[in-house]
Amino acid sequence: MDVIKEAISKIPYIGIPHIGIRDIIDVLVVAYLIYIVLKWIKDTRTWALFKGVVVVLVVAIVAYVFQLHTLWWVISNTITFGAMTLLVVFQPELRRALEQIGRGNMFATMFNITDNEQDGMTDEAIEGIVRASLHMAKYKTGALMVIEQETRLGDVERTGISIDGVLTSQLLINIFEKNTPLHDGAVIIKNSRISAATCFLPLTDSMDVSLDLGTRHRAAIGISEVTDAIVIVVSEENGVISYVRNGKIRRNLDADMIRKILLSTRKKKRNEKKILDRKRAMWKGRVKDE
């Protein structure tokens, strides 16, 4: 307790200045800009990395307030070096953000507020993926289907063509049909809808990938290494259906295996949503009682 009091006493007292209308406008503009940046980041893979940066900053503040000298020395030197590293890591996202600001796209999407919480795919969507996969495997039609999970794939969607259509087996088969404009690249699936097609995915750099696997499979492994997405791949060479997640590939899937994988993922997401809803209800009840 004495340590906490001592730490608080070291925080310099700042008197409350006079607040005018210009100060209020200034704060609102800054808050709005921060909101824009955070909303844009949340729709990309950068969100997970951004949360890690926030954790490091929180630890740094705690180390400074409580005078944890060794920890503060390590973090302060890491932050000094890491500032330049972050510019390199975020370079594609920063460039894309500046381009969107120039075109006005970022501000135009600010008022399109949607609920990003997913309840898992519907039975119809799961059966659509199963039927389409079997049909394309039978006729050796190459396919690459990326199913979004917690990590947002907004930056990947922007590399393709927006569709935003209800997921059906017929639509998936038509998209990947050979010699059609949309058959190249990946399809992004979220909320039981096909959000985009012909999307470009990052290729894996792993040397452990079998030489029998081509670019389509390497792209599936690559996106699964940087996100938590589920990827279903149909080989154009032999019609083999594969499942990829967390950089691991599982081949020779049948209808029951595909269905089981997608149903287990939906069950997990719905359980997580129930826990989150329960916590929210408890919190609202606590606030109401207070």
pLDDT confidence of residue 40: 66
- Which of 126, 132, 119, 107 shows the shortest CA–CA distance to 40? 107
In a structure prediction context, what are the per-residue pLDDT tens digits for the chain, which is 290 residues long? 565 556 556 555 555 567 778 888 888 888 888 887 777 666 665 666 677 778 878 888 888 888 888 888 888 777 767 667 766 766 666 665 565 555 454 454 444 444 444 557 889 999 999 999 999 999 999 999 999 988 888 889 989 999 999 999 999 999 999 888 888 899 999 988 999 999 999 998 888 888 888 899 999 999 998 888 999 999 999 999 999 998 899 999 999 999 999 998 877 666 666 666 676 666 656 545 55
Q: Considering the entire predicted model, what is its pTM?
A: 0.61
Q: Where are the alpha helices (DSSP H) in the chain?
A: 2-9, 21-42, 46-65, 69-89, 91-103, 105-108, 123-138, 154-157, 169-176, 215-226, 255-289
CA distance 165 to 162: 9
CB 33 within 8 A of CB 93: no
- Which of 212, 210, 214 shows the shortest CA–CA distance to 142? 214
Q: What are the phi and psi torsion angles at 149 (to 5°)?
A: -115, -120
Q: What are the phi and psi torsion angles at 198 (to 5°)?
A: 55, 35
Buried b / exposed e over 12-40, threshold 16 CB at 10 Å, is eeeeeeeeeeeeeeeeeeeeeeeebeeeb
- Which of 106, 113, 57, 111 shows the shortest CA–CA distance to 86? 57
User: Among positive and negative, which fits the CA dihedral 213, 187, 250, 237?
Assistant: negative
pLDDT confidence of residue 8: 57
pLDDT confidence of residue 43: 60
Complete domains list, the chain, with CATH: 2-108 (no CATH), 123-263 (3.40.1700.10)
